Structure 1
């Protein structure tokens, strides 16, 4: 069965490693047929003063050129020029027009900030330890996630839908209503989601999204793809087959794959 990953990073962001060429070479060697390179879209200096979280705006052209060069060197590998765009809601201090995103064939939508706080940044995780914090943060996270998916932002795929679990802090209440809201909002907006394999390597020890949330997405008719969220070339195809198994167990029978032309194709899940 062919392997795909529609979420991967490079050293163009401050917390990634490897060049686009190294990522593409590793993907081809691993048998990947579709690779979306999805570097973090630039944040302002107010949000990312050290260019650690995102790609510097001045390097976007260089990034796109590197993807074009990788395509020439790997004609048998479909390489999609993408980006991961943070939803900042009312706190967004950027002006992003259609022309800014036009070069990107795939835009991942992500919520990494809760009211301007990067809740999944290990260096800023202290707020999670405050009394009652997980209850409030989880509720606010899913509120913002639903705002993002329901917005007019040009997101094609919503990334790691339950990222709030990354550090294994969980609320005291039943999260099922939050899951239902997320699935309903995503289905109504016609967006896709991903199974993101990186979660297995964080404190939560579980892919994003949790099986219970993935089942709800499936029942709601939300198409699903797979992303490894690799930040190092050697992780480009990590656990893709395990993600397929999780999808199958949760009711999916096809993997939906974005293409470089903007269309979607389907891969049958045969396990």
Structure 2
């Protein structure tokens, strides 16, 4: 049996536009034999532009023109409809919190607005000269990809140490998705110490690490670093923004995680564990 897909987006995430469908995603999950999925909709409070500044300490909700807030009421209503229609599939509520350590008040307000069973922590940016920039903008500024990556890992440590609202750390090397075509190929080994430092901090916090199958799939060596640094649990996430991608590459991801020493958890809905 395939593991649950704990990182899925529907029409309620601001960046899916008209391509997302909670109902069609559930149908696809049943078709391929997933035991469960979690609709972890985007909760972001930055547009990652040149003038985007981190919020002050007293800010609660930060609005951005490009990034629309989650419609919590409509989201939960559609979730209930899908649970009725697909009783054979466990469907979890959830959010993917972007930069929760920088927007703690904003994230707390969203969490108070509804019940969420799966909360992911994500870092989609690098703080550069006091501004929150996307990896693509960092690369466009001519900053060396390796320097951008190392600064991203520093931000990842700040995220882990600065926020306790999430259960799973999502795509912990996010900038590699946008690695410049003219640069040397991305080499996990070049950043082994940075990965291990992040993994130690996450393991100490008792949280799970996501293997994200939308990003270039991790090597067995990288997943073994998580195991060796004390990681207890692995969550599988397709990061699907369209229905047909739910559970994508899970067969291969299972092989990678198993080769690193992790096994299925206590039941079909659990994380994989050491």
What band does the TM-score fall into relative to the shorter chain? 0.7 to 0.9
Is the contact made by 2:100 and 2:107 (CA closer than 8 Å) also made in structure 1? Answer: no
Q: Which residue of 2 aligns with 1:112?
A: 124
Structure 2: 5+ residue stretches without partners: 53-62, 181-185
Q: TM-score, normalised by structure 2?
A: 0.80
Q: Which residue of 2 aligns with 1:165?
A: 176
Q: Which residue of 2 aligns with 1:262?
A: none
Structure 1: 5+ residue stretches without partners: 120-124, 200-205, 260-264
Is the contact made by 2:123 and 2:156 (CA closer than 8 Å) also made in structure 1? Answer: yes
Q: Which residue of 2 aligns with 1:153?
A: 164
Is the contact made by 2:43 and 2:107 (CA closer than 8 Å) also made in structure 1? Answer: no
Q: Which residue of 2 aligns with 1:202?
A: none
Q: Which residue of 2 aligns with 1:180?
A: 196
Task: Classify 1:220/1:31 alpha carbon distance in 2 versus 1 (closer, same or farther; 3 Å).
Answer: same
Q: Which residue of 2 aligns with 1:7?
A: 7
Q: Which residue of 2 aligns with 1:143?
A: 154
Task: Classify 1:128/1:215 alpha carbon distance in 2 versus 1 (closer, same or farther; 3 Å).
Answer: same
Equivalent in 234, 244, 259 of residue 224 of structure 1: 234
Q: Alpha-carbon deviation of 1:20? A: 1.2
SS in 1 for 2:36: strand
Q: Which residue of 2 aligns with 1:56?
A: 69
Is the contact made by 1:138 and 1:171 (CA closer than 8 Å) also made in structure 2? Answer: no
1:1-271 correspondence runs (5 A): 1-16=1-16, 17-43=19-45, 48-51=64-67, 55-57=68-70, 59-87=71-99, 89-90=101-102, 92=103, 94-97=105-108, 99-100=111-112, 102-115=114-127, 116-119=132-135, 125-169=136-180, 170=186, 174-199=190-215, 206-207=216-217, 209-222=218-231, 223-254=233-264, 265=270
Q: Alpha-carbon deviation of 1:14? A: 3.4
Question: Whole-Å Cα distance in 1 between the matches of residues 201 and 213 of structure 2?
Answer: 23
Paired residue total: 247
Of 179-188 and 159-168, the range deviating more from structure 2: 159-168
SS in 2 for 1:195: strand
Q: TM-score, normalised by structure 1?
A: 0.80
Q: Alpha-carbon deviation of 1:266? A: 5.3
Question: Whole-Å Cα distance in 2 between the matches of residues 135 and 24 of structure 1?
Answer: 39
Cα RMSD for the two superposed structures? 2.8
Task: Classify 1:267/1:155 alpha carbon distance in 2 versus 1 (closer, same or farther; 3 Å).
Answer: closer
Is the contact made by 1:110 and 1:158 (CA closer than 8 Å) also made in structure 2? Answer: yes
1:31-67 CA-to-partner distances (Å, cap 9, x unmatched) read: 111111111014267674223xxx524x121112111
